[in-house]
């Protein structure tokens, strides 16, 4: 059996090869905060895009035959000695290029312009003023717009042959272009939602600057992935970790389409699921994945025993990640045993997971990105995993996955289902995880979900973790008696892709109903508090 280590799996994050046959815009990542956002904006304009690290050589990048390049922002200053360099070969290959912030500055530097620390830094929103409103990037739009900036260096002289097309108070050269050479750049960040016409600037670059028509939609993901999965899995068999969530449902449906009954889905009840969840998943499953076979595994004791006495969040995540794999191995052995009399039975070599791009990035899988928390299915995988991983959604964001799910005809309730983390309630109990505490949290969580649903808020809210502060107790008074119980935290958030989030402004009457019901109905919880932190600085889950 071949194996894929977590490190190898993380490495492939930058090379997911989702759409090998489509004109592809490569985003060269110079250590930007949100490089993947740029790729996503390009895909929103119906052109396929992937992120590659700046550490690839110009030959390696050009060998991938990019239809255009976008050079990202980054924390360095182009003139400092250890700054990542832009190889001028990338500008001489005839491939259209758009530079953003650091990328813009590095184009200026590479082609003989000047970049300097001018002393006028701009962080946040700034007003842009047009110098040439008929230029490639701005024609047809109101150039005087609010743009979002984050820079301390500025281009002071554009390189020869470039027209300066816009300025801001802190950056006299805020945009330039040379349409002949098809090289463009802006000092601001059109990829962030706060830049007023950001998406239009990116589209102008793609259509007018680079001559790229619409060629890619999420429908292409289905065709491409089905072909790639067929090639990867071949005649072997695969199991898919199926959680009831949209990501694994879509992954399973794609693999089912590709290799039919070579796939078995495995649902693990690790004892960390919510109230009645296992039963609901068993019922809903047939519709969800095109009828693949489902094995339900009860591994509650194994997980709870392994978690006994553990309070550190990363340790919990690693234990859960490892136990998942051990449970899948056991399911694998059972499937092999069942078919031992079939001389044609193939080995069960592949593990399909619904891993998405944010799981990979948060687990530190990108180039130079920090490990925020080890997602059980990426950074939480054990070293000795023997399965080969099949992760068809690894380059996508949740809303893209939802679009694929809808195209595959999955039921609305699955496609729109709110995310629930693989480690489940295990990372929503702050302190040791025990059966008793889990039961307590399950009751509170069921009330919150029921009330948010009946208030019609399921689509508005991304998700609402309920967190039990198991080691905190506070005094209450109920029925004239003293209570000394635990608080739960409500963490309702709104989000586009879970990379950033805001706390959801749930109406007071709904909060009040939730609070009354929990404190009245759940024995042991006497206080309900609301988390009003955005991400960043908080994350969505507490651990
Ligand atoms: N209880 C489970 N049993 C089997 N596999 C699981 C379970 N929980 C998670 N997984 C696997 O881990 C992957 C990542 O979990 P994650 O929660 O991110 O995705 P999801 O549950 O499919 O979708 P969502 O993010 O919407 O909850 C899943 O796609 C699935 O392959
Ligand atoms: O499958 C998962 N395995 C994990 O280990 C994990 N940790 C967080 N999440 C979910 O990811 C999104 C972002 O969460 P954070 O802001 O807490 O990182 C939110 O939607 C979280 O619910 C996980 N999902
Ligand atoms: N966001 C960026 O790309 C910043 C580029 C550079 N570090 C500056 O401060 O100007
Ligand atoms: Mg989930």
pLDDT tens digits, 357-393 = 888 877 766 555 567 888 888 888 899 999 999 999 9
Please say if the pLDDT value at position 344 is more than 80: yes
Residue 149: name the closest of 132, 130, 168 by CA. Answer: 168
Residue 254: name the closest of 404, 40, 421, 356 by CA. Answer: 404
Whether the CB-CB separation of 187 and 71 falls below 8 Å is answered with no
Catalytic (active site) residue 101: yes
**Which ligand ends up closest to the CA of 277?**
1
* Tokens, residue 68: 């255009």
Q: Who's near 375: CB < 8 A, 6+ residues apart?
A: 317, 355, 359, 360, 362, 363, 421, 422
Percent of the chain having pLDDT more than 70? 94
Catalytic (active site) residue 194: no
Residue 119 binned pLDDT confidence (cut-offs 50, 70, 90): confident
User: Residues with Cβ within 6 A of ligand 1?
Assistant: 241-243, 245-248, 266-268, 353-355, 359, 377, 419-422
Backbone dihedral region for residue 256 (phi beyond 0: left; psi -120 to 50: alpha; all else: beta): alpha
d(CA 510, CA 504): 12
248 in a known ligand binding site? yes
246 in a known ligand binding site? yes
The rounded Å distance from CA 422 to ligand 4 centre is 5
Residues with CB in 5 Å of ion ligand 4: 243, 245, 420
Residue 37 binned pLDDT confidence (cut-offs 50, 70, 90): confident
Q: What is the mean pLDDT of the chain?
A: 91
Please say if the pLDDT value at position 19 is more than 70: no
Catalytic (active site) residue 270: no
pLDDT tens digits, 48-71 = 998 999 999 999 999 999 999 999
Residue 288 binned pLDDT confidence (cut-offs 50, 70, 90): low
Where do the domains of the chain lie, and which CATH numbers do they carry?
23-209 (3.40.50.880), 218-415 (3.40.50.620), 428-530 (3.30.300.10)
249 in a known ligand binding site? yes
Mean pLDDT along residues 258-272 = 96
pTM over 0.95: no
* Nearest atom, ligand 2, residue 376 CA: 5
Identify which of 6, 9, 241, 331 to mutate to test ligand 1's pocket (most ligand atoms within 8 A of the CB): 241
- Ligand 2 atom 10 nearest Cα: 421
- Ligand 1 atom 20 nearest Cα: 245
**Which ligand ends up closest to the CA of 246?**
1
353, burial (CB in 10 Å: exposed 0-12, middle 13-18, buried 19+): buried
How big is the chain by its Cα radius of gyration, in Å? Answer: 25
- Structure confidence at residue 370 (pLDDT): 65
The rounded Å distance from CA 421 to ligand 2 centre is 5
Q: Who's near 441: CB < 8 A, 6+ residues apart?
A: 425, 428, 429, 466, 468, 488
* Nearest atom, ligand 3, residue 72 CA: 3
**Which ligand ends up closest to the CA of 298?**
1
326, burial (CB in 10 Å: exposed 0-12, middle 13-18, buried 19+): middle
Identify which of 421, 427, 430, 465 to mutate to test ligand 2's pocket (most ligand atoms within 8 A of the CB): 421
pLDDT tens digits, 415-452 = 999 999 999 999 999 999 999 999 999 999 999 999 99
The rounded Å distance from CA 430 to ligand 1 centre is 21
247 in a known ligand binding site? yes
pLDDT tens digits, 227-254 = 999 999 999 999 999 999 999 999 999 9
- Structure confidence at residue 125 (pLDDT): 80
């Amino acid at each position: 059996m071949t194996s894929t280590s977590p490190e190898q799996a993380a490495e492939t994050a930058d090379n997911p090869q989702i759409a090998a046959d489509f004109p592809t815009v490569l985003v060269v990542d110079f250590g930007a905060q949100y490089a993947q956002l740029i790729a996503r904006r390009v895909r929103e304009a119906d052109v396929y895009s992937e992120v590659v690290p700046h550490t690839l050589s110009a030959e390696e990048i050009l060998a991938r035959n990019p239809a255009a390049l976008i050079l990202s922002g980054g924390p360095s200053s182009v003139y400092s000695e250890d700054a990542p360099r832009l190889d001028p070969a990338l500008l001489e290959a005839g491939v259209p290029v758009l530079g953003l912030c650091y990328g813009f500055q590095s184009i200026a530097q590479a082609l003989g312009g000047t970049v300097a620390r001018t002393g006028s830094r701009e962080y946040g929103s700034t007003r842009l003023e047009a110098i040439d409103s008929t230029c490639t990037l701005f024609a047809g739009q109101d150039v005087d717009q609010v743009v979002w900036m984050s820079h301390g260096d500025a281009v002071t002289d554009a390189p020869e042959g470039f027209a300066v097309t816009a300025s801001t108070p802190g950056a006299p050269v805020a945009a330039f272009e040379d349409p002949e050479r098809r090289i463009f750049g802006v000092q601001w960040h059109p990829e962030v939602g706060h830049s007023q016409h950001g998406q239009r600037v990116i589209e102008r670059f793609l259509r007018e600057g680079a001559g790229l028509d619409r060629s890619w939609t999420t429908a292409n993901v289905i065709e491409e992935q089905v072909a790639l999965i067929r090639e990867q899995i071949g005649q072997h068999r695969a199991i898919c970790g199926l959680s009831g969530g949209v990501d694994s449902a879509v992954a399973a449906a794609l693999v089912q389409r590709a290799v039919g009954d070579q796939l078995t889905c495995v649902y693990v009840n690790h004892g960390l699921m919510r109230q009645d969840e296992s039963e609901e998943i068993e019922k809903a499953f047939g519709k969800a994945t095109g009828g693949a076979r489902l094995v339900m595994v009860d591994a509650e004791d194994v997980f709870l025993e392994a978690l006994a006495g553990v309070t550190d969040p990363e340790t919990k995540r690693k234990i859960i990640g490892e136990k998942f794999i051990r449970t899948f191995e056991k399911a694998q052995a059972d499937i092999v045993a069942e078919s031992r009399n079939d001389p044609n039975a193939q080995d069960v070599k592949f593990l399909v997971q619904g891993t998405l791009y944010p799981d990979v990035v948060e687990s530190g899988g990108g180039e130079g990105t920090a490990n925020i928390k080890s997602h059980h299915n990426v950074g939480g995988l054990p070293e000795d995993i023997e399965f080969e991983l099949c992760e068809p959604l690894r380059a996508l964001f949740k809303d893209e996955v939802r679009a694929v799910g809808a195209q595959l005809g999955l039921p609305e309730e699955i496609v729109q289902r709110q995310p629930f983390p693989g480690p489940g309630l295990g990372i929503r109990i702050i302190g040791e995880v025990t059966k008793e505490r889990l039961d307590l949290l399950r009751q509170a969580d069921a009330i919150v979900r029921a009330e948010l649903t009946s208030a019609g808020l399921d689509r508005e809210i991304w998700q609402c973790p309920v967190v039990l502060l198991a080691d905190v107790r506070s005094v209450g008074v109920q029925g004239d008696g003293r209570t000394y119980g635990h608080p739960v935290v409500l963490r309702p958030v709104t989000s586009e892709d879970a990379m950033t989030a805001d706390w959801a402004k749930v109406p007071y009457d709904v909060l009040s109903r939730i609070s009354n019901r929990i404190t009245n109905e759940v024995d042991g919880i006497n206080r309900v508090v609301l988390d009003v932190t955005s991400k960043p600085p908080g994350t969505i889950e507490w651990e």
